[in-house]
Amino acid sequence: MSDVVTLDASERELFRDTLKKFLQNEVAPYYEQWEKDGIFPRELWSKMGENGFLCVDVPEEYGGYGAGFQLSAIVVEELARGGYGAICTSVSVHSDIVAPYITHLGTDEQKRYWLPKLVSGEAVGAIAMTEPGAGSDLQGMRTSAVKSGDEYTVNGSKTFITNGQHCDLVIVAAKTDPTKGSKGISLFTVDCASPGFNRGRNLDKMGLHSGDTSELFFEDMKVTSDQVLGGLGEGFVCLMKELPRERLILAVGAIAACDGMMDWTVEYVTERKAFGATLSNFQNTRFKLAELKTQIEVNRAYVSQCNEKYQRAELTATEASMVKLSTTELQCNVADECLQLFGGYGYMTEYPISRAFIDARVQRIYGGTSEIMKEIIARDILGR
C-alpha cells in the first residue's frame, strides 16, 4: 500500500462535504419513492461515477484517486448516516468488494478492462457466491465450471446477489474440480452480456427495498481461461483474503448508521412533549441516550483501530470478525432503542427511524452471520 495517495484531514473533509451536497440534491428528494419502486435508477451509478464517488481507492492509472481506505469509508459513512441503507449496501459491494477483487487479484488485462468502467459507473459490479442450497457454506456450492480446451462451461444458480439487476460485471464462484473441496473452487470475471447468463427476479426483501437483490442463472455459459480471477483453484483462498475488508466496511457503515439514528432521536426527544415536559427531560431518555452514545464511541474506537491495521495490511480475519460482530449487533440495538424513544411515531414509515430499524437487521446476516463470526473468533481463542 506504499503507492496510496495520502490526503490530509482538510482534503478528506472537502470530499465529505461534496458528497453530502450530492446526496442532498441527487438522493434525498427521491429516496422514499425509490423505496416504494423497489429499486433506485441505474442512472444514479453514472452520476456517482461522474462525481468521483465510486471505487475511490482504485489506482490512478485505472481512473481512481488512488486514495486510501479512509476515503472509501467516507462514502459508506455518509450513505449510512443519511439513512440510505439500500444504496450504501449496493455501493459498498461495488466499490469495496468487487473493485478490490479486481485490483488485488486481477491480471493486467482484467484491470485495464474493468476498473475504469467500475470507477466511472459505466459498469456495475456484483459478486455471486451464495446459492439456494448453500449460504455461508461455500464448499457446498453446486455451480460448476467444466473445462473443454480453453473454455469453461458454467451451469448453476446464485441467490441474494446484491446489484443483480443492474450489474454488468459479476464475479462468479464455481467449482472447477469437485474432487478437491475448497481447493476446487475458482473465480471468474463474467460479462453480464454473455450468452447463458440470465437474471432472475428482483427479490422482495424485508428492508433495503430500493437496492436490487436477485437470483442469477447460468445455462451453458461459456467463459475462457483468461477470465479466471486470482488463479485456478484459488477461489476459496482469494475469498478468505478479501473478506476482512468486506467485514470492516460493514462495521464502518454500522457505526455511521448509529450516528444517524442518534441524531434523529436527539432532535425528536428535544421537541416532543409528554406530561408537560419534553422527552429529553425524563431520566429514562437521558440515561438511555447516554448508554447508547457510550457504546457507539467504544465501538468507533475499535473500528478506527481496525481501519489503521487494514491500511497497514495487518487486519486479521479474527479482528475483522470481531469488529463486524460487535458493530452490527450494536446497530440493531441502537435501532431498537431509538425507535422506542419515538414511541408510536417510530412505528410510522414517515419517520426514517422505522426504515433504519428494518434495514439494520440484515447487517447481522450478510458478510457472514453473527454466528459465523463467533465461530471464527472462538476457533482463534481455542486454537481449533
Distance CA 355, CA 51 (A): 27
Cβ atoms 19, 54 nearer than 8 A: no
Distances (CA, A) of 105 to 64, 164, 187: 17, 22, 10
User: Is 62 strand, coil or helix?
Assistant: helix
Name the E strands within the chain. 125-128, 144-148, 151-162, 169-175, 185-191, 197-202, 213-224, 228-229, 273-274, 277-278
C-alpha of 42 from chain center: 18
C-alpha cell at 320: 475483522
Beta carbons of 380 and 325 less than 8 angstroms apart: no
Side chain identity, residue 83:
G
219 belongs to the catalytic site:
no
C-alpha cell of 38? Answer: 423497489
Q: How far is CA 201 from CA 21, 160, 220, in A?
A: 34, 10, 20
d(CA 341, CA 338): 5
Q: Are 334 and 261 in contact (CB under 8 A)?
A: yes
Residue of 77, 242, 246, 319 marked catalytic? 246
Rounded distance between C-alpha atoms, residue 89 and residue 255, angstroms: 14
In this structure, are residues 353 and 264 in contact, taking their beta carbons and an 8 Å threshold? yes
The amino acid at residue 162 is: T
Strands 169-175 and 125-128: parallel
State how far the Cα of 345 lies from the Cα of 339, in Å rounded to an integer: 8
Q: In the structure grid, which three cell numbers stand for residue 215, read together?
A: 437470483
Tell me the C-alpha distance between 289 and 341, whole Å: 9
Q: Which residues are catalytic?
A: 246
